[in-house]
Chains A and B, each alone.
Chain A
Amino acid sequence: MLGEVQLRQLTERALGASSADETEVLVIADESALTRFANSAIHQNVFESGIEIRVRAVLGTRIGVATTNSTDERALREVVERAVVSARLAPETPDFRSLPGPQPIPQAATFSGATAVYTPERRARDVKAVCDEAISNGLEASGAWSMSQSEVAVANSRGVWAFNARTHASFKTVIMGPTSSGYAERDGLDATAIDVGAAGREAIDKAVRSRDPIAIEPGDYTVVLEPYAVGTMLDYFGGIGLGALAVQEGRSFMNDHFGERLLGPNVTLWDDGLDPRGAPMPFDFEGVPKQRVTFFEKGVARDVVYDSYTAGRENRHSTGHGLPAPNSWGPVPLNMFLGEGDASRDDLVRGVERGLWVTRFHYVNVVHPTKAILTGMTRDGTFLIERGEITRPVHNLRFTQSVLEALSCVEAIGRDAMMLQDEWSGTHVPALRISRFSFSSATEF
């Protein structure tokens, strides 16, 4: 890794080489390692180190972007020149105001030295322990134990300088038997704080309990969704409708509904890039500090996230949710939180006369964006709830369900939330009991 001083020098050299009216340099350097296992043995084990230098050149309102992964002087000059040439050829972008100006960058704890020095041998021993326990239960273990350290630096000709060093560790496992499977995941910035063994035991327990599932008819059920399922659902929900570009283009379920109650009064959903319970990142890829944005307050639609371009269109400030330029997706929430409730695990199933317990979803996709309808499969532990108790494992089902409708009939919210993280996004969510959830078809496994 290069460190803040070297990265600052690198960005200053690139900015100094630019003839554009405004120039932005975004550098992402990372080292990542991933140990992958299947059939209770390591079968893939990788390490990669890389760097990307991304230059956005602005001439008036003409914009061009170029990248390189070489840091020598010639490459830096060339990447700046390629961005400038592109900008020169681009038509005007009338809605573009300017690159962001400098703002104080808040502090956030994002780096663990222990993660940075975790060895492949240690990962292998962790994995072997989970595999051995799976085998001793007559099961097979698969999964990935990954960790990375990254440096993100943003500098622009208006004086922005933002630097962050971060680590991420993630253990995910699927434990499988002939007729069953179970899943567990743990994420955090400190690899040594992740209890791999506990995750393995959680998945093994689920795989044992989901043996010999019975067939069940598709239809509407009361469901208890574990945080894994809730997190996946919210990731899609945020992606399709909680960014300003979707609203400005009329593609969001938020359009014409700000100030209205769209979700249940017990649902509050927000984005906070600084909350240490999530996966904090103090600024976005334009170097703008993260603001907390409330999407739904007690079910009432409040706001969406902005980057500098979408904010400029409405004469407001970016909320710090810009992605690397050029960004056709628009701003997206990367640090979502769903407010916890007070329900224990037993409380979530108590009172359910007949329903389903869903561990996680698989291969989810958007069916209808303005109605927030998603489809996908259940996976790795789906159970029948009868008279307030989990009774039998069931075959997996396909759901086709509006998230808006699901979050309008939340009956109970778990008191314990999980942080589920991908490389750049973290979602902090509890389990939910939803009174009506539609399953459109079933499988035979």
Chain B
Amino acid sequence: MRDFVERALNVAQLHGAAYADVRVEEHHVQSVSTKNGMVDALLDEESQGFGVRALADGAWGFAASAVLTMAEIERVAEMAVAIARASSLAKRTDVDLAPVTVEHGSYRTPVQIDPFSISLESKIALLLQADAAMRAVPGLAIAEGSLQCLRSVKTFASTAGSYLEQEIVETGAGIVATAVGDGEVQQRSYPNSFGRHQGTAGWEIVETMDLVANAPRIAEQAMALLSAPECEPDVTTVIIDPTQVALQVHESCGHAVELDRVLGMEAAYAGTSFLTPDRLGMRYGSEHVNVVADATVAQGLGTFGWDDEGVPAAVTPLIRSGEFVDYLTSRETASRFGKPSNGTMRAESWSRLPLIRMTNINLLPGPWRFENLIADTDRGLYVETNRSWSIDDRRLNFQFGTEIAWEIVGGKLGRMVRNPSYAGITPEFWNSCDAICSEWQMWGVTNCGKGQPSQSMHVGHGAAAARFRNVRVGIA
């Protein structure tokens, strides 16, 4: 492997690259999904290839191929440099890279039970058992379950002298109950929306979920939602469950602090950000709000040894006691501020260019016990599990729908309501946060989209339930 990657770097330099790096990756993904007592999908995917990124004439080029031969890596490395030279035809300034330390080493996701060591029969049996438990609830229309195990082996080398090997393992699972009737479709998911919860971990993460025990509960809730009253329009106190807080952080904070977005590099697709450099130091949220980017936390989907520029995993405060203090950066973007990269460049696969991606963007826990927070709330709404999400291209105006909500009356959870939604403007919303709970855990988002060509990234969010005042609810 070392000969292979060194050849790529040599060829790139021989053709004039001022800097080059190469990633060789192998991916193995096993997916199982069930629906109504049957296996809906049984998929075993393998992919391998490499990508070369070259900086020549002050501009970037990238080329990738699945053919792992010396001849091909020479061809592709040369092509990356040629593309960089073409890029330079429409440059305004030369790309400058922040300094990076030369890194050598290896990293492996800590895993107690290798998820690929669990038999496929056992995985199918687990999902079908949960499926049966959901369908035991009379009237349920659709019971679904899904599991995913992923192993990614990556070698990175750069002309800066780094040579790194990483093995990332992810495991995830989840169940969904769907009830249908009278023009309504109501869904409940466990432990998270989007089909499953996932983390950098082994099979042990699935064992902690206890899918079967939770199956009847979500099926009953889905059925009950069919006849529950609608969430009425109001401006009220909202307590948000940890999984939805995770997505709220993702959309209104995580994307907003990506420095490439801030600098306009994503303007044509996902948009820009209201957190422009002149806003550093602004009051983003209340004093209860502390957000960090932490690529080292256990089980986070953004946990690794080094990013795809060879920068070591880091912990970076982003929001400190409500004050906006830092961005997610790359070598290129950080250099514009005279700072080193904080290590957030990742690519979806060997075939894609690394971009600034969320690592684990975590809302730090507060002092409240969840039951005490409910008891402390006289009137409001408790919303749980994301159903829909949308935010504008500067990350200000958002609207979320959740699967379920309960009214809070006199410090107690009351009636269940269906089709709940809430909306707000990012800084106003986070400044209305007056309590964060202590029951905190990592949550995984497996469908974070960014870039052209589009890249879907797995990112993590540590979150706990939190309370927000004067929130508009019941929009649709």
Q: Please tell me if the beta carbons of A375 and B66 are within 8 angstroms of each other in the complex.
A: no
Which A residues, 39 to 54, have Cβ-Cβ distances below 8 Å to chain B?
A: 39-52
Q: Given A93-B38, A124-B89, decide whether A365 and B388 contact each other with a Cβ distance below 8 A.
A: yes
Asked if B325 CB lies within 8 Å of chain A CBs, one says: no
Asked if B404 CB lies within 8 Å of chain A CBs, one says: no
Asked if A335 CB lies within 8 Å of chain B CBs, one says: no
Q: Please tell me if the beta carbons of B90 and A124 are within 8 angstroms of each other in the complex.
A: yes
Name the distance in Å between A248's Cβ and chain B's nearest Cβ: 10
Q: Determine, out of B106-114, B238-246, B394-402, B437-445, the stretch whose residues face the partner at the interface.
A: B394-402
Residue in A35, A142, A370 whose beta carbon sits within 8 Å of that of B185 in the complex: A370
Which residues of chain B are within 8 angstroms of A66 by Cβ–Cβ distance?
A: 43-46
Asked if A69 CB lies within 8 Å of chain B CBs, one says: yes
The residue in chain B whose Cβ has the minimal distance to the Cβ of A376 is B390
Asked if B235 CB lies within 8 Å of chain A CBs, one says: no
- A185-B131 Cα distance, complex, nearest whole Å: 45
- A443-B274 Cα distance, complex, nearest whole Å: 12
Q: Is the interface of A mostly helix, strand, loop or mixed?
A: strand
The number of chain A residues with a CB under 8 A from chain B is: 90
Q: Please tell me if the beta carbons of B183 and A68 are within 8 angstroms of each other in the complex.
A: no
Asked if B47 CB lies within 8 Å of chain A CBs, one says: yes
Asked if B42 CB lies within 8 Å of chain A CBs, one says: yes
Residue in B89, B392, B399, B452 whose beta carbon sits within 8 Å of that of A36 in the complex: B452
Asked if B213 CB lies within 8 Å of chain A CBs, one says: no
Name the distance in Å between A431's Cβ and chain B's nearest Cβ: 22
Q: Please tell me if the beta carbons of A375 and B399 are within 8 angstroms of each other in the complex.
A: yes
Q: Please tell me if the beta carbons of A443 and B83 are within 8 angstroms of each other in the complex.
A: no
Which residues of chain A are within 8 angstroms of B421 by Cβ–Cβ distance?
A: 367
Which residues of chain B are within 8 angstroms of A39 by Cβ–Cβ distance?
A: 92, 263-265
- A375-B388 Cα distance, complex, nearest whole Å: 9
| Residue of A45, A49, A65, A131 with most chain B CB atoms under a 10 A cut-off | A45
- A425-B264 Cα distance, complex, nearest whole Å: 28
- A70-B60 Cα distance, complex, nearest whole Å: 28
Asked if A125 CB lies within 8 Å of chain B CBs, one says: yes
Q: Please tell me if the beta carbons of B43 and A326 are within 8 angstroms of each other in the complex.
A: yes
Residue in A91, A121, A123, A368 whose beta carbon sits within 8 Å of that of B476 in the complex: A368
Q: Please tell me if the beta carbons of B124 and A121 are within 8 angstroms of each other in the complex.
A: no
Asked if B352 CB lies within 8 Å of chain A CBs, one says: yes
Q: Please tell me if the beta carbons of A365 and B90 are within 8 angstroms of each other in the complex.
A: no
Residue in A48, A65, A67 whose beta carbon sits within 8 Å of that of B352 in the complex: A48
Residue in B89, B263, B388, B423 whose beta carbon sits within 8 Å of that of A121 in the complex: B89
Q: Please tell me if the beta carbons of B90 and A128 are within 8 angstroms of each other in the complex.
A: yes
Q: Please tell me if the beta carbons of B62 and A47 are within 8 angstroms of each other in the complex.
A: yes
Q: Please tell me if the beta carbons of A91 and B185 are within 8 angstroms of each other in the complex.
A: no
- A440-B83 Cα distance, complex, nearest whole Å: 45
Q: Please tell me if the beta carbons of A46 and B264 are within 8 angstroms of each other in the complex.
A: no
Q: Given A64-B42, A375-B390, decide whether A443 and B396 contact each other with a Cβ distance below 8 A.
A: yes
Q: Determine, out of A154-162, A168-176, A310-318, the stretch whose residues face the partner at the interface.
A: A168-176
Q: Please tell me if the beta carbons of A125 and B83 are within 8 angstroms of each other in the complex.
A: no
Asked if A224 CB lies within 8 Å of chain B CBs, one says: no
Query: Interface extent on B, as a size class?
Result: 35 or more
| Residue of B46, B120, B390, B452 with most chain A CB atoms under a 10 A cut-off | B390
Asked if A400 CB lies within 8 Å of chain B CBs, one says: yes
Q: Please tell me if the beta carbons of A250 and B185 are within 8 angstroms of each other in the complex.
A: yes
Asked if A281 CB lies within 8 Å of chain B CBs, one says: no
Residue in B84, B141, B183, B399 whose beta carbon sits within 8 Å of that of A440 in the complex: B399
Name the distance in Å between A90's Cβ and chain B's nearest Cβ: 5
Q: Please tell me if the beta carbons of A70 and B66 are within 8 angstroms of each other in the complex.
A: yes
Q: Please tell me if the beta carbons of B180 and A251 are within 8 angstroms of each other in the complex.
A: yes
The residue in chain A whose Cβ has the minimal distance to the Cβ of B45 is A67
Q: Please tell me if the beta carbons of B60 and A45 are within 8 angstroms of each other in the complex.
A: yes
Residue in A40, A91, A120, A249 whose beta carbon sits within 8 Å of that of B86 in the complex: A120
Which B residues, 7 to 64, have Cβ-Cβ distances below 8 Å to chain A?
A: 33, 35, 37-49, 51, 59-64
Which A residues, 65 to 124, have Cβ-Cβ distances below 8 Å to chain B?
A: 65-70, 79, 82-83, 85-87, 89-95, 119-121, 123-124
Q: Given A69-B66, A249-B141, decide whether A48 and B351 contact each other with a Cβ distance below 8 A.
A: yes
The residue in chain B whose Cβ has the minimal distance to the Cβ of A131 is B90
Residue in B82, B397, B476 whose beta carbon sits within 8 Å of that of A443 in the complex: B397
Q: Please tell me if the beta carbons of B452 and A363 are within 8 angstroms of each other in the complex.
A: no
Q: Please tell me if the beta carbons of B392 and A362 are within 8 angstroms of each other in the complex.
A: yes
- A57-B389 Cα distance, complex, nearest whole Å: 37
Q: Given A94-B38, A400-B475, decide whether A174 and B268 contact each other with a Cβ distance below 8 A.
A: yes
- A125-B389 Cα distance, complex, nearest whole Å: 38
Asked if B269 CB lies within 8 Å of chain A CBs, one says: yes
Q: Given A64-B42, A440-B475, decide whether A172 and B185 contact each other with a Cβ distance below 8 A.
A: no
Q: Please tell me if the beta carbons of B87 and A124 are within 8 angstroms of each other in the complex.
A: yes
- A86-B90 Cα distance, complex, nearest whole Å: 50
Which residues of chain A are within 8 angstroms of B51 by Cβ–Cβ distance?
A: 48
Q: Given A368-B419, A377-B392, A379-B393, decide whether A326 and B41 contact each other with a Cβ distance below 8 A.
A: yes
Task: Kindly supply a per-residue 1/0 record for chain A positions 8-48, scoring 1 wherever the CB is within 8 Å of any chain B CB and 0 otherwise.
Answer: 00000000000000000000000010111111111111111
Asked if A140 CB lies within 8 Å of chain B CBs, one says: yes
Q: Given A38-B266, A89-B42, decide whether A440 and B423 contact each other with a Cβ distance below 8 A.
A: yes
Which residues of chain B are within 8 angstroms of A79 by Cβ–Cβ distance?
A: 46
Which residues of chain A are within 8 angstroms of B79 by Cβ–Cβ distance?
A: 47
Q: Please tell me if the beta carbons of A82 and B44 are within 8 angstroms of each other in the complex.
A: yes
Q: Please tell me if the beta carbons of B87 and A398 are within 8 angstroms of each other in the complex.
A: no
Which residues of chain A are within 8 angstroms of B180 by Cβ–Cβ distance?
A: 249-251
Asked if B184 CB lies within 8 Å of chain A CBs, one says: yes
Which residues of chain A are within 8 angstroms of B452 by Cβ–Cβ distance?
A: 34, 36, 44, 144, 146
Name the distance in Å between A366's Cβ and chain B's nearest Cβ: 6
Residue in A40, A43, A124 whose beta carbon sits within 8 Å of that of B265 in the complex: A43
Q: Please tell me if the beta carbons of A396 and B392 are within 8 angstroms of each other in the complex.
A: yes
The residue in chain A whose Cβ has the minimal distance to the Cβ of B63 is A47
Ranked 7 nearest A-B pairs via Cβ:
A326-B41, A120-B86, A250-B180, A142-B268, A128-B90, A124-B89, A142-B267
Which residues of A line the B interface, CB within 8 A?
32, 34-52, 63-70, 79, 82-83, 85-87, 89-95, 119-121, 123-125, 127-128, 131, 140, 142-144, 146, 172-174, 176, 249-251, 325-328, 362-371, 373, 375-377, 379, 396, 398, 400, 440-445
Given contacts A50-B49, A67-B44, A369-B185, 5 further A-B pairs with CB under 8 A are A45-B86, A250-B180, A328-B41, A363-B393, A375-B390
Q: What are some 19 contacts across the A-B interface (CB < 8 A)?
A: A34-B452, A41-B90, A43-B87, A43-B265, A44-B452, A46-B61, A47-B64, A48-B351, A50-B65, A67-B44, A70-B48, A87-B42, A89-B120, A90-B39, A174-B268, A250-B180, A370-B184, A441-B423, A443-B394
